[in-house]
Structure 1
């Protein structure tokens, strides 16, 4: 089962996320704390890139107010050159949590309501965006319960069914060449909703793109400028881009798809880019971790469960909310994946801990290895807490 969250049709943000068996794979490590948390992070990063096909990794951590960034490995095979703080990474579906944050802000500003029919924000008639009279509402977009397809156009879902096929990036590029907002709305007219919205989880990047359109409508600004303005003002997060300029594109991380030894192309641009086209540096993501850990009204709202699927798994404003984990406590997480990178974000209030980890390789075992590394790091922090050690560098 693939764990590429931009494309996943499965209930959980990763098919491995609840498995304690992850600790047996890759970065197992010792639970005995070290004097230096930075050294622990460095060790976890070094062990992670020993996994097959992984070239490099960057990890950003905020622990009880202290920030740590580590880069390991070489971006390109046979070419010395590790990632740096200036490297611009494709963060894939972590982009959705940013969309959720903007939505939470819009709700608090009373610009929209979670129970609004999405058709209120669309031009033209969309009689198809309902099921037996029950419309798709904004809360359904945020919780992946709208019944909308994963991707539009729907033929992209066929290509992504075999994500690791080396032809996949090329075929995605062909599908999205010239595919903009007009084409999205054309295809949205043809969608068939086969179940009552709000009941069943069905991962949908289409829903996130539609959420971005709604935000543009209520704020009367294009999505990228709205996003960049909010995160810079509220989270001190700079350098975030959806459409990088020439200088920024030169800093975009090289990446590898599956077992292809040749670097692949970036994720093609989606109509709004809200579901998987955000690019950010690791220092920028560290500021996002700080923002999430600080709480505040917008973060608190975005972490509020909109639907509970079982006692251990809920969805907030695109955030996966996991409970019942004795080690981590209740935490908020998301996976991001595009054809040449995969990443994770974890917000763990139990330890006042935030983790962002990314690699420049994307295959069917990448998420598994990264989760093992993160679990090891959380175990190190838990051991540190148990012995009363601080967050020394």
Structure 2
């Protein structure tokens, strides 16, 4: 997926045949070995010091694993637990979308309904060149509005973000939104451009109240119970304040989040066990009509590289894992994300209670660089992941284990790109000489791979070892004459006019 939209995904699917899969499942403790790797990666990221704590859940082929890492408050000796409530922010939208999917299947709502069908009064402004805003446009962030929020909604959100919102005196209701909605400008044709906003989900909640004839909050609570989520609440942050996990922006304690109107866009709080139950339900019940409908792709904005369904995002098909859909949530305190891969029977949840840029970057890495590749290859163990853990402990051990296991394709699998990316991770962390060690090892193991020689050349170039850089780049070109990066680096070295 892309970074922080979340979308650093190079999502891939398992490709082993059923006979091999059956044999692999007989290998004892395979899932335990997988979870030990998850633990190792999470603990290593916590040691970097950017993130306070992580909550992680993985679900694969009917097996669930949940764990917590770090401390809620640094130095507080208070690891999160199953009672810790997290602000799941925009993940709330997926529940709103699910209720709409149910209403669509029941014939109560049509995706092509003009939303003015459900509004009383004159809203002639809610169209552009004859194209009205429809329910589908609310679901897919493609309303075509000039501004993402109305003035009052934006003012309340600014108060929440700055920590000046007063839960007792500040208010912004559906009546306020409906009044301001008469003044919004639609300056783009609805259904043509993705623009993320929180107005759509709140309007959907209003429509759901109309068609289902009961309060939106009651509808959400009923859905939570249906999903087995008995410790998840909508718009109850103050009531459960003592259980709400502290969250930080760097070293600064962040204010409690609040979502105006119904909270349909981001007002839910939940525990890791409850979110895990949600993930499990979606994977296990992928053939359920409302789950299939709620996870269906409805709109794609190719220019923005966004794929959206019933408020789920970053959806599509990948080479190995098949269909996937996901949603992230960012509150003042917590960054969270859930990824569902129904074709490959797995899901991932990762939450961190720090929203600094550094912590968000660590969250992305743990989610997509560290954990997901292991779920993609499972039930085979991901040898690239094992190599990374071993290398951090003992490079010699890493080399030996890799050489021993790489031919055992029944138990182990790996993608050479993951190993190559590990070298670049070391470069990004300024561990240049360790990166050179990794790339040199990889050239020995895969001497016909031009890209690895190109990577080795780049690591030498960064350390100003231009002689060895030149040797590596020329070897890369020998193996692949079309390797443009090697050619460009050779040109750079020649322009340095180094003494011979």
| TM-score, normalised by the number of residues in structure 1 | 0.83
Would you say 1:220 and 2:213 are equivalent positions?
yes
Distance 1:223 1:187 in 2: 21
Distance 1:56 1:369 in 2: 11
1:9 aligned residue: none
Are the equivalent residues in 2 in contact too, given 1:62–1:355 (CA < 8 A)? yes
Distance 1:167 1:249 in 2: 16
1:16-165 to structure 2, matched below 5 A, reads 17-18=7-8, 35-148=32-145, 149-153=147-151, 156=154
In structure 2, do the counterparts of structure 1 residues 51 and 273 end up closer, same or farther at CA, with 3 Å as the change threshold?
farther
Deviation sequence 1:180-208 (CA, Å, 0-9, x none): 22222222121100011011111111111
The aligned length equals 360
The Cα shift of 1:171 comes to 5.2
Structure 2 unaligned regions, length at least 5? 11-29, 382-409, 413-500
Deviation sequence 1:92-149 (CA, Å, 0-9, x none): 1111111111111111111111111111111222111111221100000111111244
Aligned to 2:301, the other structure's residue is in SS state: strand
1:290 aligned residue: 280
2:357 aligned residue: 364
Distance 1:330 1:215 in 2: 28
Are the equivalent residues in 2 in contact too, given 1:345–1:356 (CA < 8 A)? yes
The Cα shift of 1:282 comes to 0.7
Q: 1:306 aligns with which of 293, 298, 307?
A: 298
1:271 aligned residue: 261
- Structure with higher Rg: it is 2
Distance 1:203 1:67 in 2: 32
The Cα shift of 1:73 comes to 1.0
Distance 2:292 2:317 in 1: 20
In structure 2, do the counterparts of structure 1 residues 94 and 313 end up closer, same or farther at CA, with 3 Å as the change threshold?
same
Distance 1:203 1:98 in 2: 17
Higher helix share: 2
2:4 aligned residue: 14
Structure number with the bigger relative contact order (C-alpha 8 A, sep ≥ 6) is 1
1:198 aligned residue: 191
1:310-321 to structure 2, matched below 5 A, reads 310=302, 313-321=306-314
Are the equivalent residues in 2 in contact too, given 1:45–1:70 (CA < 8 A)? no
Which moved further from structure 2: 71-80 or 195-204?
A: 71-80
Are the equivalent residues in 1 in contact too, given 2:142–2:192 (CA < 8 A)? yes
RMSD (Å), alpha carbons: 2.9
